[in-house]
Amino acid sequence: MNAAPTAHDVAPAARGNTRPLHHRGQRFARVASTLGKIYAGYKSIQLLEKFFGSERVSWMYHRQHATSARAIYRTAVRLEGLLIKACQFLGTRADLLPDEYIETLSQLQDRVPPRPFETVLAPLVERELGQPLSKVFADWDPTPLAAASLAQVHRARLRDGREVAVKIQYPEIARLVEADLANLRILFDLLARIERNFDLRLVLREIQRHVPLELDFLNEARNAERIRQNLAHRSDVTIPRVISELSTRRVLVLEYVEGIKVTNVDALDRAGIDRHALARLLTELFCHQILHDGFFHADPHPGNILVQPGPRVVLLDFGLAKTFPASFRAGLAQLAAAILLQDRDAAARAFQQLGFRTKRSDPSTLLTLGEAFLGHVARSGKAYADGELVEAIRDNVVRVLRENPIVEAPSDILLVLRVMGLLSGIGKQLDARVDLLQVMLPHVMAAQAEHPAVFQQ
């Protein structure tokens, strides 16, 4: 098991403030100030670039990346709540963001400054369970295994001898999340007016839908059990069992399972785990969940994935999971097949059948999105999109969206894109190659056999 974070692992600025700001106005001012300074920094470099050329200012970008990443890290640690969750996602996107961001923000995946156990979390556990800890647990490690955005996890031993991991929700986290959502609505509205190519309000609506569910650990327990049953036939994946009689809305008790963090490349290599096989397994596993089961783990960031020799994957944290109806799964499979096989007409039809609508009927916008989602990566043979490829895709997408903007998109597709993005980021850190055509086509063909009418349209 990876070593648990200690006080020495946390940045000095983070340790200086153990409690987040609670007042919504203070939180808004802190976030707005941070984003404003970052925005101004990049805009000033862009202005200089017009006069001196990109080569002469490239060092400025590297410096700005590092400065911005540290500023975001400090703000997230100070405020906690939803901001840490956002940074966890950004810190996995090694396929999209500069190294300076990844090196800094990836520290927040499971190494958030922990809360004191004895004074803050132990009383909460006793209230939730309705009895003293000593009546339930024979032993308890006050040093957390992991501390994340909404909760932290401690290792313990039950009275019957079972080793367990206990996930404890932070006492005030629900109020912080509510405040952050309100603040983000204001900031995203403002950003959409200033930078029309960066309208993130659709993403915010998805956050508003799903984050409250993550605060209900009984919902997480149900998700974990359902996925464990769906994958019970597989020997290459483990889902820890929930100890249901000791779990509540704010405390979740699971069997303790060891493993190596999926992005700890040195430890994976020492254990003799094939990184290419691991990346392939992850891709296949999520294709199976999305296209076959129709119910999938929607938050596979590195802090939620452990690896055992084999390789065998251990999935953790099922607070964010999603059910797709059969018709939507068939539409996704049709889209994936069209993109992988470079069938432009079929890709355009699949986008439209999934619910995408553009201002004009010209299908080029949707075809460009198809390439951005999957096509270039599939043909590269990598488990991720490299930096030059991402830049080319981004420029192309911005251009076509400006010429023919999307006016309607299915909200469910955002979770699929989130999963693809997280897996791409992991693939980049593993430096792995995956034949997506070979991995995905069996699942696409199975969906075609199950729903032939969709594919004949």
State the Cα–Cα distance between residues 426 and 430, nearest whole angstrom.
6
Tokens of 115: 């809360």
CA distance 297 to 220: 10
3-state SS of 3-63 is CCCCHHHCCHHHHCCCCCCCCHHHHHHHHHHHHHHHHHHHHHHHHHHHHHCHHHHHHHHHH
Q: How far apart are CA 379 and CA 75, in angstroms?
A: 39
- Sign for the pseudo-dihedral over CA of 165, 171, 172, 178: positive
CA-closest candidate to residue 110, choices 79, 153, 60: 153
- The two three-digit tokens of residue 202, written as one number: 């659709």
Q: Is 395 considered catalytic here?
A: no
CA neighbor of 28 nearest in space, from 72, 103, 79: 79
Determine which one of 95, 180, 299, 317 is catalytic. 299
Tokens 């693809």 -> residue: 420
Helix (H, G, I), strand (E, B) or coil at 92: coil
- The dihedral region occupied by 209, where left means phi > 0, alpha psi between -120 and 50, and beta the remainder, is alpha
Report residue 131 CA to chain centroid gap: 35
> 305 near 315, Cβ under 8 Å?
yes
Helices and strands (H and E) in the chain: how many: 20, 13
Neighbours of 336 (CB within 10 A): 27
Those residues whose C-beta lies under 8 Å from the C-beta of residue 214, and which sit 6 or more positions away, are 150, 220, 319, 320
- Distance between CA atoms of residues 415 and 280, nearest Å: 20
Query: How far is Cα 334 from Cα 328, in angstroms, rounded to an integer?
Result: 10
Q: State the alpha helices, DSSP H only, in 195-262.
A: 201-214, 217-230
Catalytic machinery residues = 299
